[in-house]
Structure 1
Amino acid sequence: MHLNDINLELQEKDKNIVDMMSCINAFKRKWKLLKEEIKNKDCRNFPTLLLQQNSESFVSYVNEVTKILSEFERRFEDINKMENILSFLSYPFTCTNVHEISSSCSNYFNMECTALEDEMLKIILDINLKARAGNSHSYSYWSSISEIKYPFMKQIALQITAFFASTYLCESAFSHMKTIKSKYRTRLTNDQLTACLHLALTENIPNYENFAEDHQCHASTSALK
């Protein structure tokens, strides 16, 4: 049940890599807590275990939880290495380890470390930028940051924003394509299918009133007679 819950949470729409990392870290922290609860035979989160009084059963479940934690660490090893970078981009103004983060950025994005350190220090002490960001820990304000003033950090923020955090868009496209190109519509061309997919996947809502105003209504002359 707990694994199904985290799986559904990671599949939600419009999730970026920062959101994904937060979900995964929260799940791992929760799982460590559950592991300690099972060790102490506290089954508030595992009510079916209350029926088992065998100490060996609890030991086996602790081992299974340990395996799950190890598997999560292995699967998300690359994201864990980027955690300090993502935390800085979310809210850089409380950062105290500039050298460590600039080194990580330099390795991941192949940029000059000294220039990155200089930009990071300027960002941390940028009063106008801090006021614009407010107290919210979000990376959205990077879209309005000057590329001339912070070229390296702006590029890093754009690249991280462009990361595909999940396969949601791909799976959604295949689902719509399967519905659109059915056995009853086999004569659809590739261009027609592409246009239908764009309409199915876009979040933009057409302004039908403006479209209607651009076209003149032609009344039928036969109806007038």
Structure 2
Amino acid sequence: MDVLKIIPSLQNTLKNSIILLQEAFDSRFSDFAEEDCMLAFINPFSPTENNILKMPSNIQMELIDLRANSVLKCKFNEHPSLPSASKRLNFWRSLPGEYFPELRKFAQSYACRFGITYRCQQAFSSMKTIMNKLMSRLSDSNLNRLALNY
């Protein structure tokens, strides 16, 4: 067997494997790219200019305008350093829609994530309660009915 004939096929196999690995890595860790956006949701006055440039283009200008607005900055700083979730949401709701429509949509999308997460945790907690050692022989259909009633 000639070694020179094996090398090209091995190169193609390795190349394809690396491409698949890169795609899987990008998919798995795509949430980390949103870290700057999450920080902007928590405190819209904290991101640096470089961080703002990494954010979606539809909110960049509005975020810069918000940072330049001293009235809204004072309003945000009225809250303690760790405001409650309701106070934070009230700040986002108080933004004038005619000046900050994209930032308001941005804040709504992040606020909704927490509610969805809570519902998922609640569902798994119910499933854990239902699926104990005594009930491990349930069929899928019976388990679904119990989960909806629990």
TM-score, normalised with respect to structure 2: 0.51
- Deviation of 1:77 after TM superposition, in Å, equals 2.0
Give the SS at the match of 1:82.
Answer: helix
The separation in 2 between residues aligned to 1:87 and 1:137, in whole angstroms, is 13
- Deviation of 1:165 after TM superposition, in Å, equals 3.6
Q: In the alignment, does 2:56 pair up with 1:105? A: yes
Give the SS at the match of 2:56.
Answer: helix
Bigger RCO of structures 1 and 2 (CA < 8 A, at least 6 apart): 1
Greater radius of gyration (CA): 1
Please state which structure has a larger fraction of its residues in helix. 2
Q: Which runs of 5+ in 1 are unaligned?
A: 1-72, 179-189, 198-225
Task: Name the % identity.
Answer: 15
Give the SS at the match of 2:98.
Answer: coil
1:94-173 matched pairs, under 5 angstroms: 94-97=46-49, 100-106=51-57, 111=58, 116-134=59-77, 135-137=80-82, 139-140=88-89, 141-163=91-113, 164-165=116-117, 167-172=120-125
- AA aligned to 2:46 is T
- AA aligned to 2:76 is A
Residues 6-43 of structure 1 show CA distances to partners (whole Å, capped at 9, x for unaligned) of xxxxxxxxxxxxxxxxxxxxxxxxxxxxxxxxxxxxxx
Q: 1:119 to 1:156 in 2, by over 3 A?
A: same
The separation in 1 between residues aligned to 2:123 and 2:53, in whole angstroms, is 33
Q: 1:168 to 1:75 in 2, by over 3 A?
A: farther
Q: Which runs of 5+ in 2 are unaligned?
A: 1-24, 131-144
Residues 52-86 of structure 1 show CA distances to partners (whole Å, capped at 9, x for unaligned) of xxxxxxxxxxxxxxxxxxxxx99972332111111
The separation in 2 between residues aligned to 1:121 and 1:86, in whole angstroms, is 16
Q: Is the 8 A contact 1:119 1:150 kept in 2?
A: yes
Residues 118-159 of structure 1 show CA distances to partners (whole Å, capped at 9, x for unaligned) of 211111122222222225255432133222220001101100
1:69-80 matched pairs, under 5 angstroms: 77-80=29-32
The separation in 1 between residues aligned to 2:102 and 2:53, in whole angstroms, is 11
Cα-Cα RMSD: 3.6
2:11 is aligned to none
Q: 1:155 to 1:173 in 2, by over 3 A?
A: farther
Q: Number of matched residues?
A: 104
Q: 1:122 to 1:169 in 2, by over 3 A?
A: same
Q: 1:74 to 1:118 in 2, by over 3 A?
A: closer
